[in-house]
Amino acid sequence: MFELKNKKAVITGGGSGIGKAIAKLFARQGAAVHIIDISDAACLEVVREIREEGGAVAVHPCDVARQTDVSERFADIGPFDILVNNAGIAHIGTADTTTEADFDRVIAVNVKGVYNCLRAAIPQLRLNGGGSIINMASVAASVGIKERFAYSTTKGAVRAMTLSVAKDYLQDKIRCNSISPGRVHTPFVDGFLARNYPGQEAEMFAQLSKTQPIGRMAKADEVAALALYLCSDEAAFITGTDYPIDGGFITLNS
């Protein structure tokens, strides 16, 4: 089950964190993986690890916020089976503390970047006879999270785009779903704690972990496993759905 042999997968933001976990798992399951990331240098480790396991991987440096660049990269890749729109950036701030520049920056990557990839990918998926799209949303699209105004705005947009794409391309056999993680332990979390709570990293990590009702953060590999299922043939009857993977955060904190 859940094999991706003879499938080609495009993963944005595949150089670290959740994207890296997805890239490694998809390659392990037989997919030819194409990583789109802002810098190929950021992908050196994941490329090495995939190739050491005998997997197939290629990297395409690209800023997803630039439509021309995205269109060129997808044209280079050609028809494929799976798109995982994972590239995104975080931001901390409220409506009155978020600057216009920061708001535009988060929108450019998290919303326009997803749109750019969808726009470039759908013709290639159509040529392929269909396929699966995963958009990475967040629990922030469903519940209020303190000081996440711009980020929550973008993830709400991602969920809405997921529904629209799922509806518009049913006849093209293109499925589109989204995943909404809660807090996930990634290098971003470690860097955030080191910058903002030097000397208190362990204490703050424990506090953040306890905000998930299950008592810990998710592992990137757990999110990757859900993405694998949704992109596999076993999920062929699933489209237009958001999947929280949040340790009970949405339902048990409300």
Which CA distances in Å does 132 have to 14, 48, 129? 17, 26, 11
Does the active-site annotation cover 151? yes
At 253 the pLDDT is: 75
* Cα 143 from Cα 43, distance rounded (Å): 33
In the structure, what pLDDT confidence band is assigned to residue 211 with cuts at 50, 70 and 90? confident
Please provide the CATH number assigned to the domain covering 8-182+219-246.
3.40.50.720
- Cβ-proximal residues to 146 (8 Å cutoff; 6+ apart), any chain: none
Options 151, 169, 197, 243, the catalytic residue: 151
The structure's pTM equals 0.95
| Domain residue limits, the chain | 8-182+219-246, 183-216
Residue 94: pLDDT above 80?
Answer: yes
In the structure, what pLDDT confidence band is assigned to residue 254 with cuts at 50, 70 and 90? low
* Cα 55 from Cα 49, distance rounded (Å): 9
pLDDT in tens, 109-158: 999 999 999 999 999 999 999 999 999 999 999 999 999 999 999 999 99
pLDDT in tens, 46-72: 999 999 999 999 999 999 999 999 999
